[in-house]
Amino acid sequence: MDTLRIPHALESPTVVQNFSIRLLGRGSMTLPDGSAGYPPQLGNLALGAPNIKQNFDNISTNLIPSALNLSNQISSNTFGLHVGSAAMGIPLSLWLGGYDSSRVLGPVSSQPYFSDPCRTDLLDVGIGVDNGISPFPFVEKQGVLHQGNESISDSIQVTIEPLAPYLHLPQSACDAIASYLPVTYQNKYKLYFWNTEDPRYEPLVKSPSYLSFTFRATSLPQAELTIKVPFRLLNLTLQAPLIDRPTQYFPCQSPQADGMYTLGRAFLQAAFLGINWDQDNATWWLAQAPGPDTGRTPLQEQFADPFRGSTATWSDSWKGHWTPLSQKISTDSSTGSTTMADAATPASGLSTGAKAGIGVGCAAAAALVAVAGLYFYRSRARARRATKMHLQQAAEEKRIKEGEELKGPQIPFMVEAADPEPVEMTHREMFQELPGSTPPQPPPKQR
């Protein structure tokens, strides 16, 4: 146990007593082929569990949202998350006790849970283009999840798992998607590297093309929810210590060691996730999140029915950051565009410590990188005093827009006001309580 102090620029810190932590003094992670051991670089900060407290023998410890809710610092034992994208200048959005409605577009899937939230049926994966000429031999293609795999009859069960870095799908589905892309499969990493010299590469990743995920959503009249992830967000960068020089890759991979199909941080760049840990109202939410052309002023909301989202459209939230094609690019639709290098039987995925190039993560039971920003409701008086810090935002936002990866102490710390006036604290006001260089690991998830 420890005392967690979350500093604020102009106020005394928020304190969580008896905070549940687990520290590892030594550790090593390896590539899928068993080579290249390297130390883990990211820790995780638990954002709740179905139990209000975690008990170890005779010791009772606290988790952040439930402790803040019990002390009346936030109004509910909930959180709302949009991971965003450092490279595309979409800041992390994380609220405790509510959510930012500007990060919610279109219909919202609301689903109850009994033990583990964030588990749902994936009905299909598709490929499409929002506007302009398609970079593919088609404008839209459905049935990609089932392509080449007759054992998938209706759907597969997936977990929205923010600790996982990639799209962990059946290998047949990854291969089917990759067959339409200029990528090469690398067996050492169990990943697809973009062929950046291919003339199709740049037009495709900059075009309004996307990968779509269709889920079962019984709470919606149409009983389905589709979330689109632009290929701009799936053009990620693998870096040291995993590889000698930065390399662009497509983040689709077979399941991790537990064998579960998961949609990780690569997916959550474009999706909103919310959870209510209150067992009387145990619910989790999933929705489309916007692109970089959206307002930067957060719109504070409580989780309630009806669920309030933004009136903006997904297309408008991206229109300034992609380039519609005015003419066809050359493709080989007969054999596909994927080449296979050292192809082998699929193995388990990269460890969760792998750098995915998208900055932050959190557990399916809601854990987040320890130095990520936390959002809190503050009083109106505090918000007015804190507005003096707005001028400090410009330099930080410029750095993010220029494509720096959000990692470690570079991730900004946010304080949200009761009136929707955001105040951004720079990375220098990050966590100071936990000593040493080894980041904390998430406490055991309660079942």
Q: State the DSSP string of 74-94.
A: SSSSEEEEE--BTTTTB--EE
Asked if 250 and 183 count as a contact pair (C-beta separation under 8 A), the reply is yes
Distance between CA 74 and CA 184 in Å, rounded? 48
Strand pairing category for 2-6 and 14-19: antiparallel
Taking the CA atoms of 128, 131, 136 and 139 in sequence, report the sign of the dihedral they define.
positive
Give the chain's end-to-end CA distance (angstroms, integer): 21
Asked if 165 and 352 count as a contact pair (C-beta separation under 8 A), the reply is yes
* Intervals of the chain under pLDDT 70: 1, 9-10, 24, 36, 41-42, 330-447
Q: Helix H segments across 207-248?
A: none
Region for residue 412 given its phi and psi (left: phi exceeds 0; alpha: psi -120 to 50; beta: otherwise): beta
Residues in the chain: 447
Strand pairing category for 167-168 and 252-253: parallel
**What phi, psi does 232 have (nearest 5°)?**
-60, -30
Specify the pLDDT at position 315.
96
- Joined tokens for residue 266: 């690569």
CB atoms within 10 A of CB 244: 8
Asked if 110 and 312 count as a contact pair (C-beta separation under 8 A), the reply is no
pTM score: 0.75
**What phi, psi does 23 have (nearest 5°)?**
-105, 135
Question: To 5 degrees, how large is the angle CA 279–CA 285–CA 288?
Answer: 170
Specify the pLDDT at position 444.
42
113 closest CA partner among 48, 44, 166: 48
Write down the residue that tokens 């638990």 correspond to. 46
* pLDDT tens digits, 32-63: 777 767 777 667 777 888 888 878 777 888 88
